[in-house]
Amino acid sequence: TSKNVPTTLQNPSLVVNSMLTALAQSLLPSSTDQQQFLADLQAAATLVNKQKISSTSD
């Protein structure tokens, strides 16, 4: 089990995604709303990651 820990730490987005999916399912009854919610979050996360990458390269 200790081998699994680094992978989770290296890829926290997987953990976050599963948490957000569970959150979306509890908050939004319709699957269309869930998908839109998750798509919006994904887009926001992508923007944040791009900003992080560009700010570190300076």
Q: Which residues contact 11 (CB under 8 A, 6 or more apart)?
A: none
Q: Which residues contact 25 (CB under 8 A, 6 or more apart)?
A: 34
| Segment (H or E) for 39 | helix 31-57
Distance CA(30)–CA(15), nearest Å, equals: 23
- 44 or 5, which is more confident: 44
What are 12-57's pLDDT values in tens digits? 778 887 888 888 888 888 889 888 888 888 888 888 888 877 777 6
* pLDDT for the residue numbered 55: 73
Residue 41 identity (one-letter amino acid): L
Question: Structural domain boundaries of the chain?
Answer: 4-57
